[in-house]
Structure 1
Amino acid sequence: MKKHVSLPRHSVSVSGIVQRPDGCILAIKRADDGRFVPPGGVLELDETPYEGVVREVLKETGVKVAPERLAGAYKSMKLGVVSLAILCRPVDGRPQTSDEAVSVAWLRPAEVIEAMPEARAIRVTDALSEGGLFVRAHDGTSLL
C-alpha cells in the first residue's frame, strides 16, 4: 500500500492596479510590514478573480472599482502564492485606512517605483504597459 504524501499547495491572490483618469495609482501601506503595495488579497473559493479584486480593494481602501483587464500573473517562489494583477478604474468611494492598510495614497507611476518593492512595482508598470499579459516570478521583494 502506497503512503499518501501531502504536497504543498498554491494560494491564489489578486492585486488591484487601480488607475485614476489623471494616471495616479492607488497604493496601501501594509499594517503588517509597512511596505507600500497595490491593494489585494487571497481569492475566496466561490469568487472569480474580478469579484475578488473588487472585494479586496473595497475592504482595504474604501474605493469601489471596476476591473478592466488581467495584466499579469506573478508567483512568489518563497510562499507559493500566485497573484493575478488586474487593471481597474475607480468608480466610487474615498480612500480610507483599514485593518490591513495604515495608509492609503494615490501615487504617480514614478512614485510607485520608488515606494514599492520591485516585485510589487512591476505589477503596476506591467499593467500600464502595452504588450499583453506578463508572467513573472519573484522572491517576495525582487524579481527572479
Structure 2
Amino acid sequence: MDQLTEMELPKHFVSVAGVVIDDYGRILVIKRRDDGTWQIPGGVLELDESIEDGVKREIEEESGIVVRVGRLSGVYKNLTRGVVSLVYLCEPIGGHGRLSEESCAVEWVRVDEARRRLDEMFWLRVADALSGQVRTRAHDGRREVGDRPSVHVPRPGDE
C-alpha cells in the first residue's frame, strides 16, 4: 500500500461524552443553547488531553456536574461529519447542575423521560450504556445507518 501524504489522510474529529447515572437511576441531560435539542453532555476531545480527562471536562463544562468515568459503553461514527464519538458510563461525584455557554437547561430525568426527549442517536447511546455491553454504530447525524447490526465487543470475563 502506498504511503498517504498528510493532505490525503481522512479528516476526523474525536468527541467524548458521558451517560451519567445518579443513585436514583436518573440520566443527566442538557438542552443545547444553539439548537434546543436535548443531549447527553459531551464535546470535542482536545489534542493535549487524555480521553478520561476530556469526558470529565466536557461534562463539568456543560452541566456543572463532576463525574467519575467508568467503562466505555459505545463508539459512534457520524458518517456525514466525520466525527467519532467515544461514550462512557459515568457516575456523579460532585458539583451542582448549572447552565453554560452551551446549555440552556440541565436536568436529571428518568429513563423513560430521556427516551422521550433525546433524538434517536443520543437515546441509543443511553440505551447502549444501560445494556452493559459495548456497542459500535454508524449514523448520519440523526439515524443509525448500515446493514449490519451493532457489534458486541466482549469484556474480560465475558463468556
Instruction: State TM-score, norm by structure 2.
Output: 0.85
Three-state SS of the structure 2 residue aligned to 1:72 is strand
Instruction: Quote how far apart the aligned CAs of 1:112 are.
Output: 1.1
AA at the equivalent of 1:136 = R
Does structure 1 residue 101 correspond to structure 2 residue 78? no
> In structure 1, what is the Cα distance between the partners aligned to 2:35 and 2:13?
20
Does structure 1 residue 46 correspond to structure 2 residue 42? no
AA at the equivalent of 1:63 = I
1:10 — aligned with what? Answer: 12
Distance 1:4 1:21, change over 3 A: closer
Cα deviation digits, residues 21-68 of structure 1 (max 9, x gap): 110000000111110000000001111211100000001111100001
Instruction: Quote how far apart the aligned CAs of 1:6 are.
Output: 3.9
> In structure 1, what is the Cα distance between the partners aligned to 2:138 and 2:113?
23
Instruction: Quote how far apart the aligned CAs of 1:5 are.
Output: 4.7
> In structure 2, what is the Cα distance between the partners aligned to 1:38 and 1:87?
11
1:120 — aligned with what? Answer: 122
Residue identity (%)? 46
1:61 — aligned with what? Answer: 63
> In structure 1, what is the Cα distance between the partners aligned to 2:21 and 2:7?
44
2:80 — aligned with what? Answer: 78
* Structure 2, unpaired ranges of 5+: 146-159
1:141 — aligned with what? Answer: 142
Instruction: Quote how far apart the aligned CAs of 1:4 are.
Output: 7.7
2:152 — aligned with what? Answer: none
Cα deviation digits, residues 107-130 of structure 1 (max 9, x gap): 111111110110111000100112
> In structure 1, what is the Cα distance between the partners aligned to 2:68 and 2:51?
12
1:31 — aligned with what? Answer: 33
Three-state SS of the structure 2 residue aligned to 1:82 is strand
AA at the equivalent of 1:116 = L
> In structure 1, what is the Cα distance between the partners aligned to 2:45 and 2:105?
23
Q: How many residues align?
A: 141
Runs of 4+ in 1 over 3 A off after TM superposition: 3-8
* Structure 1, unpaired ranges of 5+: none
Q: CA RMSD in A?
A: 1.4
